[in-house]
Structure 1
Amino acid sequence: MLYNTDAVVVKTVRYGEHSAIVTLLTPSGLVSAMAKGALKPQSRLAAGTRLCAQGTYFLYQGHGMGDIRQVQLTASRRRLHEDIEAAAYAAYFCDLALVSTPERPHAPKAMFTQFSAVLDALELRDETPPDLLARVYEAKICSWLGASPNWERCIRCMGPLVPPAAYHMTEGGLVCGPCRRDVDRSAEFVVPERTGRLLTAFTEVDVRRLGRIQVSPPTRRSLDAILSHQLREFAGLHGKAKDVLDQIIRSLRLD
């Protein structure tokens, strides 16, 4: 069966001397396919099998894994390969997409459209800093995987987040000041007042309409810590890509 689909490359693995197994994120989920001869210098499939490439992919599906027959590229995203920081974030985003998206045809279309928009914003880098772009994408993944509470309500009493609110690592949400008297203080950290509103906004905003975001350093640190913990402990995503990203960013800051 021949079919075509819009897709973004989220993983490429060498297969033999000249071929590759490519994992594509499509509007309905992940699909893996063989790209025969794609690693040859003059292959017409070469550009379409690079990480973050996007286009229309023409596939033949027989028994087992399908074959990529043709690619009409719409975005090569060269900057995501040429800039070290952008490449590190792009690799992290691809890893998140890979471990969080169900196989085709079981994913909601938003997992494709928002991922594509995140890569576009990362490549342009005109308004949204890459670390905040990462927080936006992480917040959305938490929501898609059912690991996102009501960020503007206390997870214990469901009332307003009367300050000083804190993120509770065991409860998996924000706890208001009065309720903090009844929880284990060793498993919490106090968060800036805007944290809940920002987490809600990040979850709901369409990345294609994302504008300039100004967030203080303490709030950035809180958002990073909260979403990293939510993804690991409540969404079940235990990949090492975030650790690798953090190491690269730290090394770049030292240079």
Structure 2
Amino acid sequence: MLISRKALLLSVREVAESDLFLSLLSPSYGRFSAVAKGGRRSIRRFVNKLEAGHLLRIHLRWGKKGLAPVVEAADLLWAPERWRKDPRAFALAGYFLELCERSCPPAEGREVFPLLLHSLRLLEGQGASLLLASFFELRLLGLLGWAPELDRCLGCGGPLRRGGALFPEKGGILCPSCSGEGGFELSARSLALLRYLVRLSPTKLSRVRPQAESLNQISRALRTFLKVVLDQDIKALKVLEALESPGEEAP
């Protein structure tokens, strides 16, 4: 049976002598895997199509139960240009793709597809930025049900008017009275930025001009929070951080 699905290609891995193992995210099915038989050699069917970050309409043939479907053909719906020339944009795109692949179990993640596609298109149009990275991280946490409470202290339940500290291992934010030492400091301004990003439409992100200190605070906190909830290192994050220079804003 041949089925067609729109999907974003999350990763490509070489298997056997000429096959490709694909990890994809679909708005209708969530994350799934497929095999492109002879994908490394078939110029007519797959040339310049099977690359991570591409939006495809993929035509699949299902075989035996429990086996990954076979890719018969793929139509390229959208492909970025900026990433090929901009190392920071390429690294940030890889970070987004890996986060989605690691956080979405098989057949889940339908709700993540629009966020990923919007973010990749923003990256293509506006380039890499710390704000875009933090927006994606925060919204991904929310979609997966992992986002910390931003209005109330995890300890006493009181309002976080004076800021607080994020404790990834505890899964939330403690107010100054409850936090003691440790955690990732979040000023009142940083918490206000997080609350704003939770509600913000992706199309309006380019209008936001937050203070660098607030951006750096929420970036450090969100990246560590993601590592803890995923319980694993994110390989693409190491590449991203390697491109950052001392005293320079992260992309």
**2:158 paired residue number:** 159
Question: C-alpha separation between the residues in 2 aligned to 1:156 and 1:81?
Answer: 47
**2:103 paired residue number:** 100
Question: C-alpha separation between the residues in 2 aligned to 1:200 and 1:237?
Answer: 26
Q: Match of 1:36, as an amino acid? A: K
C-alpha contact 2:9 2:56 (8 A) present in aligned 1: no
Q: Which runs of 4+ in 1 moved over 6 A?
A: none
Q: CA shift at 1:146, angstroms?
A: 2.8
**1:135 paired residue number:** 134
**2:224 paired residue number:** 229
Question: C-alpha separation between the residues in 1 aligned to 2:11 and 2:90?
Answer: 14
Change (3 A) 1:38 1:148: same
Identical positions, percent: 25
**1:33 paired residue number:** 34
Q: Deviations over 1:101-159 (max 9, x none)?
A: 1212x33x320011011100001117xx5221111111122223332122122222222
Gaps of 5+ in 1: none
After superposition, residues 32-181 of structure 1 pair within 5 angstroms as 32-40=33-41, 42-63=43-64, 64-104=67-107, 106-107=108-109, 109-125=110-126, 129-163=128-162, 165-177=164-176, 179-180=177-178
Q: Match of 1:122, as an amino acid? A: L
Query: Does 233-242 or 58-67 show the bigger shift?
Result: 233-242
Q: CA shift at 1:169, angstroms?
A: 4.5
Question: C-alpha separation between the residues in 2 aligned to 1:190 and 1:92?
Answer: 24
Question: C-alpha separation between the residues in 1 aligned to 2:181 and 2:143?
Answer: 29
Question: C-alpha separation between the residues in 1 aligned to 2:229 and 2:161?
Answer: 24
Q: Deviations over 1:219-249 (max 9, x none)?
A: 1111111111211223434323212210123
C-alpha contact 2:184 2:221 (8 A) present in aligned 1: no
**1:205 paired residue number:** 200
C-alpha contact 1:142 1:230 (8 A) present in aligned 2: no
Question: C-alpha separation between the residues in 2 aligned to 1:15 and 1:164?
Answer: 50
Question: C-alpha separation between the residues in 1 aligned to 2:48 and 2:201?
Answer: 28
Q: Deviations over 1:58-82 (max 9, x none)?
A: 1111111111112121111132233
Q: Deviations over 1:21-61 (max 9, x none)?
A: 11111113111111123223733213221111102111111
Question: C-alpha separation between the residues in 1 aligned to 2:190 and 2:11?
Answer: 33
Q: CA RMSD in A?
A: 2.3
Which residue of 238, 246, 251 maps to 2:241? Answer: 246
Query: Does 160-169 or 66-75 show the bigger shift?
Result: 160-169
Change (3 A) 1:46 1:201: farther
Question: C-alpha separation between the residues in 2 aligned to 1:192 and 1:65?
Answer: 48
Q: Match of 2:56, as an amino acid? A: G
Number of residues of Structure 1 aligned to a counterpart in Structure 2: 245
Gaps of 5+ in 2: none
Q: Match of 2:130, as an amino acid? A: D
